Structure 1
Amino acid sequence: MAAVRCDLEDFAVEMFEPFGRADQRRWGGVYLRGLLLDGRRKSVEPMAARLGKDGNRQALAHFITTSPWDAAHVRARIAWRMQQVIKPTTLIVDDTGFLKDGDASACVARQYTGTAGKVTNCQVGISLHLASDGASAAVDWRLFVPESWDPASPKADVAKVARRTKCGIPEEIGHVEKWQLALDMIDETRSWGIEVPLVVADGGYGDAAAFRLGLEERGLCYVVGISTTTTARPEAARLHTPPYGGRGPRPKPAYLSPAQTVKKLVIEAGKQAAKPVQWREGSRPGTGRSGVKRMYSRFVALRIRPAGREIRKALDGPELPVRWLLAEWPATEPEPVQFWLSDLPPDTPLATLVRMAKLRWRIEHDYREMK
């Protein structure tokens, strides 16, 4: 136990070294120890009761609520430490909900969260994780500000806006879309000197063309979930320029056929296009040679041209870029059940596309451990 405490104290010294005052560094270490002690509730009062002689509730509350220290310094040091341990190949973006019943917490609103699987009263946190096949850890966070909490929004709620000061929300902080918060965190992580070339996210982010374009502008590859209604054209689609009649402006090149949903494109390719892929071994017992359950399914990979007004605006020319469409189509299902879009190179193997798409499972483990 003494060795564990010594390691924790060394870790706290490393994490809180940028703090300007000795009392901040001390109470930072005490707060960290309080988080790790057994006990379901992690708010200040029950933590203080478990900390014995260091259980100064007032000092802990001051450290959390009013002591002027920059959380970015701590996050950067955690990221540097995790980079050494994890050796990340991927950045994963996701969000999670924190269910709330009272009215004292910031940015609580009725909104969807996968934590409850429905729309409910909660906070939503956006997180950025360093990940490899064997490990992952959250290194950056943003609290999502719903429009009802933003005084500049037409959807502002008077009662919630009035609680901003009590909750300590700075005046300049307003509603920002989740995908933009994700890009902001990626930029911050890169400013710490951490360069990871691939981003993975679910459909809540992949459906935003602006998010995908933002990654491309930063020179980052991605494998992101998309909804079944995302539209695209086959790779073979070609532009056609109508003949010029000699009057008015010359007609612009255009595609002859309308864009289709990604679901329709995969169904047209047919179930025979699906190939079996095993992307990892699970944690539950199974009947395989290894004794654990295989994570296995069938997948279709097509080269397509994603459509959409935002993509057209971002292009130098009229031709849509070619990207990977990945779809999971289990043998037992009549239709594909999940879709991803990726700008990985054209020669990327199917197994690599699947492994990257499915790497997002690590986030659930991270959230479970943190909560």
Structure 2
Amino acid sequence: MTPDEIAVVRGELETFAAEVFEPFARNDQRRWGQVYLRGLLTDGQRKSVEPMAARLGEDGNRQALAHFITTSPWDPAHIRAKLAWRMEEAIGPDAFVFDDTGFLKDGTASACVSRQYTGTAGKVTNCQVGVSLHLASDHASAAINWRLFLPQTWDPASPKADADKVARRPACGIPDDVGHVEKWQLALDMLDETRSWGIEVPLAIADAGYGDAAAFRHGVQARGLNYVVGISSTLSAQPGDAVPVTEPYSGTGRPPVAKYPDKPQSVKELVIAAGRKAARPVQWREG
């Protein structure tokens, strides 16, 4: 890029940062928030403060950046709301997309690190997992809300608590009232928060990590949204033409609940029973 092009891009970035970081209470927070954002966009795999500061030249004040990240108090909800409003205008979203991402870690000092499955590596490995909500359209998407997943090993109230991990909670800045919450519930919590900002999208999309949870599907439906979710072939269901029946009611006690007469089958069994002719192709765009 030419110097003039670099100046234009930097000006646009500074304008964006000034808008998104406007809720910061202090000028120094706004300044170092902008510097940190530029640091994230610099070349280099490592995004921790020390190597980032080395790449930032005259703005590479490691101590100031570390202070901004670790001890500078600010409400992230206000920043996320600002970002969400900006992205809604830019993208014109057709759907909320729920996903999670693994952040691979070599050590054990980072908050919520545990051996757990992540699609990032395609296996169980040492990592953090972040749950995210994205605004998406056919041409663009952006994450506008996210939560760090806290495994049961980090929750002192869980029977699976790990004493060493629980002991690291204060050093990691994890509040006492934060415990393990399933990923699908974090997704619904983010959906509620995002809608409280005035952002309404009629469709929710998620993979089988969320689609397999009936409570997630019911939660999305109860909020008035349609959904398209992946499910595992082992998930059980009733055929589309199955009709629940109610046993005769004598008029005393609690009325019986309608039940399906036959046991549910796995989705794989239902697909095989329907046959190849019942299938129809669904085409997704490249990318």
2:124 is aligned to 119
Moved more, 154-163 or 38-47: 38-47
**How does 1:144-293 map onto structure 2 within 5 Å?**
144-242=149-247, 253-280=258-285, 282=286
1:279 partner SS: coil
Amino acid at match of 1:100: K
Aligned to 1:107: 112
Distance of 1:192 and 1:96 partners within structure 2: 24
Residue type at the aligned position of 2:12: D
Q: Of the candidates 84, 87, 91, which is equivalent to residue 82 of structure 1?
A: 87
Q: In structure 1, what is the equivalent of residue 51 of structure 2?
A: 46
- State the AA in 2 paired with 1:130: L
Displacement of 1:150: 0.5
Task: Give the distance between the partners of 2:229 and 2:175, measured in 1 at CA.
Answer: 32
Q: Give the Cα–Cα distance (whole angstroms) in 1 for the partners of residues 90 and 77 of structure 2.
A: 20
Cα distance, 1:278 vs structure 2: 2.8
Unaligned runs of 5+ in 2: 1-5
Q: How big is the shift at 1:250?
A: 7.5
Structure 1 residues 313-324: aligned runs within 5 Å:
none
Tell me the SS of whatever aligns to 1:47: helix
Quick one: distance in 1 between partners of 2:219 and 2:32? 39
Is 1:23 the counterpart of 2:28 in the alignment?
Answer: yes
Q: Following TM superposition, by how much is the alpha carbon of 1:236 offset from its aligned partner in structure 2, in angstroms?
A: 2.3
Cα distance, 1:142 vs structure 2: 0.3
Q: CA deviation at 1:220?
A: 1.1
C-alpha distance 99-244 of structure 1, shift in aligned 2 (>3 A): closer
Secondary structure at 2:242 match in 1: coil
* Residue type of the alignment partner of 2:26: R
- Aligned residue for 2:229, secondary structure, equals strand
Deviation at 1:256, TM superposition (A): 2.2
Q: 1:234 to 1:53 in 2, by over 3 A?
A: same
Contact 2:108 2:114 in 1 (8 A): no
In the aligned structure 1, how far is the partner of 2:254 from the partner of 2:59? 78
How far does residue 101 in structure 1 lie from its aligned partner after superposition?
0.9
* Aligned counterpart for 1:55 among listed residues 35, 56, 60: 60
1:189-226 superposed Cα distances (whole Å, 9 cap, x missing partner):
11111101110001111111111111111111111111
| 1:156-194 deviation per Cα after TM superposition (whole angstroms, max 9, x unaligned) | 100000000111111111100000000011111111111
Aligned equivalents of 1:109, 1:252: Cα separation in 2 = 42
TM-score under structure 2 length normalisation: 0.93
- The count of aligned residue pairs is 282
The separation in 1 between residues aligned to 2:253 and 2:70, in whole angstroms, is 65
% identical aligned pairs = 72
Matched, 1:131 2:117: no
Question: Whole-Å Cα distance in 2 between the matches of residues 237 and 206 of structure 1?
Answer: 21
Q: Which amino acid aligns with 1:64?
A: I
The Cα of 1:239 is off from its aligned counterpart by 3.4
Local SS of the residue matching 1:18: coil
Shift of residue 9 of structure 1? 1.1
Larger strand share, 1 or 2: 1
Gaps of 5+ in 1: 284-371
